[in-house]
Chain A
Amino acid sequence: MRNTVKIIIFVIFFFIIGVFYISLTRETNYNTSSLINKEVPQFKIAYFDKNGFYTKQDLIKNNYTLINFWASWCGPCRIEHPILMKLSAENNLKILGINFKDKKELAGKFLKDLGNPYSFLLKDIEGKQSVSFGIYGIPESLLINNENIIIKKFVGPLSLDNYKEIKEMIN
């Protein structure tokens, strides 16, 4: 009986240590792994400056698409803008800009001042569409292939390293 109690105490002790170890070493920050290699969700988002909607079906027409969520009020979006301008020169890639919770005049001025890298420009005034893409802050970008599969998600402003990575992926 005593041996049994000892074994039980040991098992419980190691179990508790195991639980603590797993909990302390587990990654609790948000990561994008749940979206990668998944198909783009169904969406229908209004164009920024014309009537009509851009849908998931329109994405298939592009070899690769970089969906970029941005706003004129977002500081890091200014930082990544030169990278987007460089990426806009790539023949194999179309950049789909989704203007997030922004004012039309301010967004227009932003693009007039810094240049417009977007092949297609859409607007998400309430930010609800962004949830379908797992967006929780801006800027965020998703690289999509012509089978509508998300191959990479970039959280935060695109860097030069990201630029090289995207270039390698699309060529």
Chain B
Amino acid sequence: MKLKLLFIFFILYTQSSFGIEKTINPNTIHKNLRCLVCQGQSISDSNSDFAQTIKLVVKDLIDEGKTEDEIYSFMSDKYGEWIVFKPQLNPQNSLLWILPYIALIFGGFIIFTLVKKRQ
């Protein structure tokens, strides 16, 4: 009986986890895409013709089973990296991603050395 219950829980858990993985919220993607014809607005905020078209294309790409990253990479390919608000992790942007961690470690090291010296 316990084994059966465990099995049912396992099936339900795996199904729900896969379900979560597959669901992409289009609004999250719209918020991370820049409206190229607007002033500092995202696709989500804008009602421009360009934004409407991009929303339709994002919907189609989601329906085709594309992942969020694949959608950003498609858009960057067509309009350049500028269209995505969140910078992608590539050699050009690597410093942008790594630097905060280096600063954190370096800062921590300085604080640790100063504290140790005072003691």
Contacts and interface: CB of A to CB of B under 8 A. Distances in A.
Interface of A: 8, 28, 30-31, 33-35, 101, 126-128, 130-134, 136-137
Contacts of B49: 101, 127, 137
Residue of B53, B54, B76 ringed by the most chain A CB atoms within 10 A: B53
Contact of B80 (A33, A127, A128): A33
Interface of B: 36-37, 49-50, 52-54, 56-57, 60, 76-80, 82, 110
Contacts of B77: 34
Among the interface residues A30, A126, A130, A131, which one has the most CB atoms of the partner chain B within 10 A?
A131
Contact of A131 (B76, B78, B82): B78
Contact of B78 (A34, A101, A126): A34
Contacts, number: 41
Contacts of A33: 80
Nearest to A132: B78
Given A127-B49, A130-B53, 9 more contacts: A28-B82, A30-B79, A34-B77, A126-B56, A127-B52, A128-B57, A131-B53, A132-B78, A136-B36
Nearest to B103: A12
A62 to B, nearest CB: 23
25 contacts: A8-B110, A28-B82, A30-B79, A30-B80, A30-B82, A34-B76, A34-B77, A34-B80, A35-B78, A101-B49, A127-B52, A127-B56, A128-B53, A128-B60, A130-B53, A131-B54, A131-B57, A131-B78, A133-B78, A134-B78, A134-B79, A136-B37, A136-B79, A137-B49, A137-B50
